[in-house]
A = this chain, B = another copy of it.
């Protein structure tokens, strides 16, 4: 019944242990390998580091011995000697919101595939000194960094990273596009995503589209820019964007405001969580989705498809972006001036059932809308 059980020292190994369980002695070192292979330990070092000047037969023999003994180089020793650790730590303001979480997942996958260890360090503060401290602690000698910079804490952390640590970052679409100083950054095309969503809503017959904004780390959020552009290109009026947060609750609050305005027939929400809250507020106010109000989000989180109604949204592949970010970092660490052109995950509009034609002008009876 208790949440916490107790131990008096490490638990003994379970019966049929098998595999590599329960060794217990000091791990096998480069010296053990050398002894077993009948070479000097320096030769072993050369083999495991892929140094060219080793006779092929020697190399092969040593490699076999490494396998047999299950030798794994001691990271600490390696780092101490000045080589990089084969580790990234992800510096992020958050691990639970979708974009961060999916990004972290992608980074972990890619890093693991490359034999890198991955660390996580959350920066909560937005106070300069605390950010600096967090950054300092996040970067160990021999390590590298990926910072997820989707908000103020993130961008501040990004700026506080010493120039001599290998680093890459996931960021919002920079305002200048690819212009200006090249930086080790990856991003999804926020502007294009917003254009797709807004155009879609307009194509359904809405006079305009309201925008519920995420907090932005940049001066001019490219999602907002894209939304604005699409509206302008259609000659639609541009309502003032509503400032929102990140969570369903924030969406719910904004949704109450939106629901009170009968002129609102279509809402583009900065992410799916916001959209969820807006939908809830609409339902609670008796406004039907999509008959009375259309709602579209960004992300395509795992729940979006199973909401009622299923949420129309723009899929943003943050996991893939995380993989790309790690690939960038790795390229940077290997050949310093390479130009890695990673595949870019393009935003994709996923049409489901939360958006439809606007209601007929008052007086007429509403139409059931099929989003096709």
Contact = CB atoms under 8 A, between A and B. Distances in A.
B4 A341 contact: yes
Interface of A: 1-14, 17-24, 27, 70, 72, 74-77, 79-80, 85, 87, 89, 95-96, 101-102, 104-105, 108-109, 112, 117-122, 128-129, 131-132, 135-137, 140-142, 159-167, 174, 177-178, 181-189, 192, 247-249, 251-252, 273, 276-277, 279-280, 283, 302-303, 305-308, 310, 321, 324, 328, 332, 336-337, 339-345
A241 to B, nearest CB: 21
The 7 residue pairs across chains A and B that have the minimum distance between CB atoms: A3-B344, A76-B79, A19-B132, A248-B306, A76-B76, A280-B306, A4-B342
Nearest to A80: B76
Contacts of A174: 5
A302 B273 contact: yes
A178 B21 contact: no
Contacts of A112: 121-122
Q: How many copies does the complex hold?
A: 2
Given A75-B76, A162-B22, A305 B248 contact: yes
A182 B105 contact: no
11 contacts: A3-B321, A10-B165, A14-B159, A21-B159, A22-B162, A23-B164, A24-B162, A95-B101, A117-B137, A273-B302, A279-B306
A21 B121 contact: no
Given A19-B160, A108-B120, A141-B74, A5 B183 contact: yes
A306 B76 contact: no
Given A3-B186, A108-B120, 14 more contacts: A4-B341, A4-B344, A5-B182, A6-B339, A10-B165, A14-B159, A27-B141, A75-B140, A76-B79, A96-B102, A109-B122, A247-B302, A248-B302, A252-B306
